[in-house]
Amino acid sequence: MPKLRSLEELESLINELKEKENRSKIVLKVALGTCGISAGADETYEELLKEVEEEKLENIEVIKTGCLGYCYAEPTVEINEPGKKSVLYGNVTKSKVKDLVKTHLVLFQK
């Protein structure tokens, strides 16, 4: 995640995230704040990228975010599908990524 040097950079990043959410793609947000990183969220992020590619899920974008405020449940993944309320999954370790992708993303897409 880039280090922000000004309020303008933060506003730009927020606008970029909002634009990504408004697209027709499903957006997976992996919380990579301090707690998330210490709980293994970086591995979760990399595994999500791998699984999405292996399943050939072209309508899904995996992005990094800062803290989502659920330190006790890290690593956390928020799934934003267009037209639906977001879903937050907690304790999504690298070993649980395949199940998350299969159950929430692959089965729901069919």
pLDDT class for 21, splitting at 50, 70, 90? Answer: low
Whether 59 is covered by a domain: the verdict is yes
Whether 6 is covered by a domain: the verdict is no
Q: What is the CATH number of the domain that holds 94?
A: 3.40.30.10
- Half-sphere exposure in the Cβ direction for 100 (13 Å, CA): 26
| Domain region containing 33 | 27-105
Q: Alpha carbon 41 to chain centroid distance? A: 10
pLDDT of 69 > 80? The answer is yes
Whether 10 is covered by a domain: the verdict is no
Whether 12 is covered by a domain: the verdict is no
Tokens of 29: 């947000």
Q: Label the pairing between strands 26-31 and 77-80.
A: antiparallel
Give the Cα separation of 102 and 93 in Å (integer). 15
pLDDT of 108 > 70? The answer is no
Whether 77 is covered by a domain: the verdict is yes
Whether 3 is covered by a domain: the verdict is no
Whether 2 is covered by a domain: the verdict is no
3-class DSSP state for residue 89?
Answer: strand
What is the number of structural domains in the chain?
Answer: 1
pTM score, two decimals? 0.76
pLDDT of 84 > 60? The answer is yes
Chain segment 39-66, per-residue pLDDT in tens: 999 999 999 999 999 999 988 999 999 9
3-class DSSP state for residue 50?
Answer: helix
Whether 11 is covered by a domain: the verdict is no
CA angle 17, 56, 24 (to 5 degrees): 35
For residue 94, the surrounding DSSP H or E stretch is: none
pLDDT class for 102, splitting at 50, 70, 90? Answer: very high
